[in-house]
Amino acid sequence: MLTIFFAVAAIFIQAAFLPNFFVPGNIPNLLLLLAVFYTVRFGFEKVWVKLILAGLVLDLATFSWTGLNALALIAAAFSSSFLNRRFLVIHAKWKFIILVILMAAGTLAGEIVLFGVPFLAHQIPDNSSGFELAVILSMLSRKIIFNLVMFVAAYWPLMRLEKFIKAFNRQTL
């Protein structure tokens, strides 16, 4: 239930609040960050249905292609889950660094889907024929940096809130 609240809040903030502060194309994808965070915490098998629903709601909120954000969230969650199984670290000091690497990989996978599907469907505007690899890599790197900055800013509040909810659930049982 709480993950649904976080997803709705992230969709609202991403669609209505963040575009006022960031240049279009560089808006951090909060829902993607939550998708990777909860995939690492709970596993891909437990969150994929919620990610599809959240992606569809984000598509409706941002007037984008139906299913495109859902596909990007699934790609990001699957890639981070795949890498998480390879980088399982027991030592607590390395968990944050591994999580940052997983966020970068998830952002890269999600952005490749968000940019690649319209490109493959030939929906790139006519004036974009001058796109070069350097421009695309620059856009991807800026998106990864903005997502990582937002993740670092939200990581410790999310962890504190999760500990509070666990303590609250123990007291109520």
Q: What is the pTM of this model?
A: 0.73
Q: Angle at Cα 82 formed by Cα 76 and Cα 84, nearest 5°?
A: 95
**Tens digits of per-residue pLDDT, 97-126?**
778 888 888 888 888 888 777 777 765 555
Helical (H) or strand (E) element with 54: helix 44-62
Q: Would you list the domain boundaries of the chain?
A: 2-172
Distance CA 159, CA 170 (A): 17
| Runs of H (alpha helix) within 14-132 | 30-42, 44-62, 68-86, 92-120
* CATH class of the region 2-172: mainly alpha
* Low pLDDT (below 70) residues in the chain: 1-3, 88-93, 122-133, 171-173
Q: Identify the pLDDT of residue 128.
A: 54
Q: What is the CA radius of gyration of the chain?
A: 17
